[in-house]
A and B are shown apart, each in its own frame.
Chain A
Amino acid sequence: MRKSGTDNLVPAIKSPGDAPSMKGAEQFEIFPDYGPRINRRHMVAAAVVAVPLLFGFTGLAIRYAAVASTLAEPGFEAYARALCRWDCHWYVDISERGYERFPIPNQSNVGRWGFFPFYPLLVAVIRAIFPFPTIVVATVASLACSYAACLVAWPLLKKNMQAYVLYCAFLLSGPFSFHFTTFLSEPLFVLLTSSVFLALKRSSYPAAGISSALLSATRLVGVLVVFATVIEMFQQHRKGGGSPLSFPRWVLGRPDLLVAILISPAGLFAYILFLYVTVGDGFAFLHVQRAFGRVAGNPILFLWDGLSAFPKTGWLPTAPQWSALAAIAGLALSVVLMARKQYGAGIFCAISIVVPLITNLASMVRYVIGLAPLILLMAFLLSASKLTWIAALFLFLVACYFMTVAWIGGYLALV
């Protein structure tokens, strides 16, 4: 009798939140191994919540020290302003003033149209509730997004604590943590990308579609995640015994899948419509690239030019070399993802690297490290052995300081 009761209840318990309350010793007797199991789950849950929090504070302290070494002015606002470099100023402007019409005020050639609206809009909404300076609101929002991205990564890392620690360290205390904690699109981009892949992992296509729609309003390459969605659907169809030829018919027969696919680029289309109404050109975000000096060319030649830009003095690689190496490393990791049968993630990352590479190597390091599947894979691979794990963790924390100093100093490879 007692045994059958236990058998009936245990399989229904999926998480600590599902566990029945245990008020007395009698219940402990009925479910003898619940206590340790729940305690362990609670401990893991606490660790999952605490690890990114810890790295959030550690990273903040390291970057603050780096900023303090170059600036005399103390305080969080001064710190936030010091880290706001390059594109960050564009996002601040968009969040405060929106997009301009044509002709652009101040006789400028460069409109803000190249920067996608979702993150600055989100910051504007938060600022309406908490009336602090934009950069302060955005910095806190970016920290929150990166923290949330870490939590979303936990199931994507197959609950591998070592990989999780490395991933959190990279995002919040790593060499490029300033990208994820200032007003750039990266924090939200990483969070939404992770959300899409988590939804796909759970075959929750409507959730993937909505996250993709928001992603496509965050950065242009965000729209490419729709390929990952379609590939995941195709894999599901094949697992169910469907043939490749019957896939289109299968999708057409599933309206939920159709909605998920068609809603994915909705953010991009909304922005195109907005630009058509305000500027008269829905593709202003592409056309304005001319004023930034971006020219379409052969990605292989851009890579070659970058690699062959040897330093004139010293041995440290030049900014173009770092950018080319980042692109190559990103493409190599994309291939590894595909080799591990994560075709959707691999193709999404590869195209997201190649698309900006068509114009040149500018911002390539930032684009590569902003691709969540690549960083998740890197964390996974580096945590394969304890030695590499410790070395990587140490390197991330040390590099955080020096890379922040380089970022503040305007080092071109980090732009």
Chain B
Amino acid sequence: MLWSDVGNPYARAISLGCYALAAALAVSEILILALALHPNVHPDYRAYYIDRTTTCLNRDTVGIYSLGQTVSFRSDGAKRASGMKVCGWSGPAADGTHSLGETSRLRLQIPPLRDGLKATLQMAAVVRPPQMTQRVIISVHGVSVHKVTLSGKQPMTVSFFIPHAAFSNASTFEMTFDYLDGIPPSKAASSIYKRSIKLVSFRLDAV
């Protein structure tokens, strides 16, 4: 029976009440959907979860570091290294801290400097035939400072100069590693699980 056919005033009131409830539900659901389609989130959240433009979810962490100090990223240096690792790392293990995803970041506190820095990193490539090399782009605060191709399982020592202009305006020192040849654990696996390098040690010296 259609609502318009309801003769009993009591039943008609119930019917109208149901229509009002249905309308309220429909309007609420449309409004909630509209809100959900326009998320109001932190840029880091948007980049990682929504836009998926990075595999490295930024975290508020800053490591304490003294220039000229070599920090081990093997198991033996876990305590000192842990504060420096922002995202994109797994471990440490006996052979170093493994990169995870397409980007990894380190962030540390350094004293104010007048000149640039010399970075010395020990890194090894993750290889799985046919992928026998790993290309890595290293940036400091978004400025590309070095490109390296790692090959073989043995760690390689990589040294490069970081111009003062790259970090002069920042309160902390942030180094980003972008991997061009990451190896996923399986064909269908997410890019967050890609493996590229093992970072063995890290050192900065004032120039």
- Chain A residues proximal to chain B, CB less than 8 Å: 102-103, 107, 109, 253-256, 258-259, 262-263, 265-266, 269, 272-273, 276, 279-284, 287-288, 290-291, 293-295, 297, 301-302, 305, 360
Instruction: For A282, give its contact among B39, B44, B45, B187 (CB under 8 Å).
Output: B39
Smallest CB-CB separation from A249: which chain B residue? Answer: B2
Q: Beyond A103-B59, A276-B36, A281-B40: 16 further Cβ-contacts under 8 Å?
A: A102-B42, A255-B3, A255-B22, A256-B18, A258-B22, A259-B18, A269-B33, A272-B32, A273-B35, A279-B41, A280-B39, A281-B49, A283-B39, A293-B192, A295-B190, A297-B188
Can you list 8 A-B pairs, Cβ within 8 angstroms, ordered by A? Answer: A103-B59, A255-B19, A259-B25, A273-B35, A280-B45, A282-B37, A293-B190, A295-B190
Smallest CB-CB separation from B39: which chain A residue? Answer: A281
A254–B50 Cα distance when bound, in Å, is 40
Tell me which residues across on chain B come within 8 A of A284, comparing CB atoms. 49
Could you tell me the distance in whole angstroms from the C-beta of B188 to the nearest C-beta in chain A?
6
A269–B29 Cα distance when bound, in Å, is 6
Q: How many residues of B contact A (CB 8 A)?
A: 41
* Structural contact, B18 and A255, CB atoms closer than 8 A: yes
Could you tell me the distance in whole angstroms from the C-beta of B104 to the nearest C-beta in chain A?
13
A266–B36 Cα distance when bound, in Å, is 15
Whether, in the assembled complex, B21 has its beta carbon less than 8 Å from a beta carbon of chain A, the answer is: yes
Instruction: For B50, give its contact among A109, A287, A291, A293 (CB under 8 Å).
Output: A287
Tell me which residues across on chain B come within 8 A of A103, comparing CB atoms. 42, 44-45, 59-60
Could you tell me the distance in whole angstroms from the C-beta of A31 to the nearest C-beta in chain B?
37
How many pairs, one residue from A and one from B, have CB atoms within 8 Å of each other in the complex? Answer: 107
* Structural contact, A288 and B32, CB atoms closer than 8 A: no
Classify the interface of chain B: helix, strand, loop or mixed.
helix
Smallest CB-CB separation from B24: which chain A residue? Answer: A262
Whether, in the assembled complex, B57 has its beta carbon less than 8 Å from a beta carbon of chain A, the answer is: yes
* Structural contact, B48 and A109, CB atoms closer than 8 A: yes
Q: Please give me the 3 A-B residue pairs with the lowest Cβ-Cβ distance, nearest first.
A: A282-B36, A255-B18, A253-B2
* Structural contact, A290 and B48, CB atoms closer than 8 A: yes
Known: A266-B25, A290-B52. Contact between A276 and B192, CB under 8 A? no
Instruction: For B49, give its contact among A273, A291, A294 (CB under 8 Å).
Output: A291
Whether, in the assembled complex, B189 has its beta carbon less than 8 Å from a beta carbon of chain A, the answer is: yes
A293–B25 Cα distance when bound, in Å, is 35
Whether, in the assembled complex, B67 has its beta carbon less than 8 Å from a beta carbon of chain A, the answer is: no
* Structural contact, B35 and A109, CB atoms closer than 8 A: no
* Structural contact, B45 and A293, CB atoms closer than 8 A: no
Q: Which of B41, B49, B188, B189 has the most CB of A within 10 A?
A: B49
Whether, in the assembled complex, B120 has its beta carbon less than 8 Å from a beta carbon of chain A, the answer is: no
Smallest CB-CB separation from B187: which chain A residue? Answer: A305
Instruction: For B3, give its contact among A253, A302, A305 (CB under 8 Å).
Output: A253
A109–B26 Cα distance when bound, in Å, is 34
What mask results when residues 49 to 75 of chain B are scored 1 for a CB within 8 Å of chain A, else 0?
110100001011100000000000000
Tell me which residues across on chain B come within 8 A of A293, comparing CB atoms. 189-190, 192-193
Smallest CB-CB separation from B85: which chain A residue? Answer: A107
A255–B23 Cα distance when bound, in Å, is 10
Tell me which residues across on chain A come within 8 A of B39, comparing CB atoms. 276, 280-283
Could you tell me the distance in whole angstroms from the C-beta of B121 to the nearest C-beta in chain A?
23
A287–B51 Cα distance when bound, in Å, is 10
Tell me which residues across on chain B come within 8 A of A291, comparing CB atoms. 48-49, 57, 192
Tell me which residues across on chain A come within 8 A of B59, comparing CB atoms. 103, 107
Instruction: For A281, give its contact among B26, B45, B60 (CB under 8 Å).
Output: B45
Q: Which of B2, B36, B193 has the most CB of A within 10 A?
A: B36
Whether, in the assembled complex, B28 has its beta carbon less than 8 Å from a beta carbon of chain A, the answer is: yes
Could you tell me the distance in whole angstroms from the C-beta of A393 to the nearest C-beta in chain B?
38
List B4-22 residues whose CB lies under 8 Å from chain A: 4, 15-16, 18-19, 21-22
A254–B57 Cα distance when bound, in Å, is 50
A60–B185 Cα distance when bound, in Å, is 39
Q: Which of B25, B35, B191 has the most CB of A within 10 A?
A: B25
A279–B61 Cα distance when bound, in Å, is 21
A328–B15 Cα distance when bound, in Å, is 45
Tell me which residues across on chain A come within 8 A of B25, comparing CB atoms. 259, 262-263, 266
List B168-207 residues whose CB lies under 8 Å from chain A: 187-193
Could you tell me the distance in whole angstroms from the C-beta of B62 to the nearest C-beta in chain A?
12
Smallest CB-CB separation from A206: which chain B residue? Answer: B18
Tell me which residues across on chain A come within 8 A of B57, comparing CB atoms. 109, 291
Could you tell me the distance in whole angstroms from the C-beta of A352 to the nearest C-beta in chain B?
21
* Structural contact, B189 and A295, CB atoms closer than 8 A: yes
Q: Which of B19, B21, B28, B190 has the most CB of A within 10 A?
A: B190
Tell me which residues across on chain B come within 8 A of A305, comparing CB atoms. 187-188
A406–B142 Cα distance when bound, in Å, is 49
Tell me which residues across on chain B come within 8 A of A273, comparing CB atoms. 32, 35
* Structural contact, A301 and B192, CB atoms closer than 8 A: no
Could you tell me the distance in whole angstroms from the C-beta of A214 to the nearest C-beta in chain B?
15
Smallest CB-CB separation from B17: which chain A residue? Answer: A255
Tell me which residues across on chain A come within 8 A of B52, comparing CB atoms. 290
Could you tell me the distance in whole angstroms from the C-beta of B136 to the nearest C-beta in chain A?
22
* Structural contact, B28 and A287, CB atoms closer than 8 A: no
Smallest CB-CB separation from A275: which chain B residue? Answer: B36
A290–B51 Cα distance when bound, in Å, is 11
Tell me which residues across on chain A come within 8 A of B41, comparing CB atoms. 102, 279-281
A107–B105 Cα distance when bound, in Å, is 14
A282–B16 Cα distance when bound, in Å, is 32
Smallest CB-CB separation from B192: which chain A residue? Answer: A293
